Structure 1
Amino acid sequence: MIRTSARPAVPAARFGVLGLAAILVLGGCSGSTGEPNAEAAENSSSSASATNSSGPIESATPSTAPAPAAAYKPATAEGPAENVPLPIMPELAKRESKEGLIAFGAYWFSLLNYGYETGDASPVKALSTPECQLCELYYVDLEEGYENDDWIQGGKISISSSGSQFQKTSEGRYQLLLSIRQGAGVNRGPNGVIYGEGSAGDKQATAQIMEATYVSNHWVVNLVENM
């Protein structure tokens, strides 16, 4: 058995529940020339310019600390999430191995969550093929969920467990089995607008299967379905 699906692919997020679980520094350059005499002369000149008859003076260019990163804020009834950090792919997820596939699966689902919070589907698109039907529905989900000034609140997906026999199918793909759960979510609009009744979240985990291919030194998703 590879996969079966007895549940609908995905409800329209804008008019109801979210449903993915139901389907699924630039370096600075040194100013030194590398010559000891030149460096000594430069240091001597710097020392002379930094002092006068009254003693040392402050530099004309004060040092400044880097600005702190803007704080992340999850979506609320008042507005969408802010300053959502883009997940970074771990090195393990770049390897063609059983462990690499499992790490990639976790990373790919983290990109789904990023999309729910931002409306940006491009990270998922970059790692998924057009034949992934769930992916295509997900793109529509986000487009509708973030139409005009609307946004999605909640709906985060978590992975309870995952594993793989790491054997190629006849299509040259590797299969990853996952147990996932999606939290409560709702589609919102300005001035307190709510589209549909929202999702209460999954009470039980949903079994899903991911099929991925390793091409050009990275993984791409071909399929994600319920089992």
Structure 2
Amino acid sequence: MARILIIDDDPNMAEMVEIALRTEGHETRAFSDAESALGAIDSMRPEAMIVDIMLPGRDGLDFVSTVRANSRVPIVFMTGRAQMRDKIRGYRVGGDDYVVKPFLLTELALRVDSLLRRDAWAARPPDTLSVGDLILNVADGTAQRGCRSLKLTRDEFDIVSALASTPGKPWSPESLARRLGIPTDSPRHMAESIYVKMSRLRAKIAHPGEAVLLHTRRGSGYTISAEAD
């Protein structure tokens, strides 16, 4: 779904964070110090960052302050510092969220997903989303394809608007389930629920003779694109 840069001088922690995020379909790259990470930003073009505050040499606060001079990429601080004054410093230099070690990896993944969705929505006009000839009116929850109005349920609109907020990038079934409030403790039931909703949504969006917009990426999830597979 997104390219995520991680900085932590603890290799075990960095590896666990990478595994958790890759499970969600993200691409990750980890660094043990701020200087190495700064040197890789231009080539990697991360869409989110997870930064430890306590780092060798330049610390995480200084790193984020430097990044913020040229970028609004979502940034999550992770640190063992739990005092309020430390959190305030993190937010003031440009952090978007703050998790205190030890933390649940699932919680970190949820926080990252939330920031990515917020950033995707902020980057587009707030009232409409469009993919090809499909137009979604976010304000009133209506959808139209060409001259045809689509009668979508609330869940169907939430799914297609999520996909349209990041066109071409897959959403895992678990990420969609979380967005819809579907329990994820039973992976099989969760996947079946999303599959059924996607099947109905495909039938409504693409009538015979119309280009297919919804696609399944094996091993990654679902995506929307006006380009054929």
Identify the TM-score tier after normalising by the shorter chain.
under 0.3
Instruction: State TM-score, norm by structure 1.
Output: 0.21
Q: Which has the greater radius of gyration?
A: 1
Greater relative contact order structure (CA < 8 Å, 6+ sep): 1
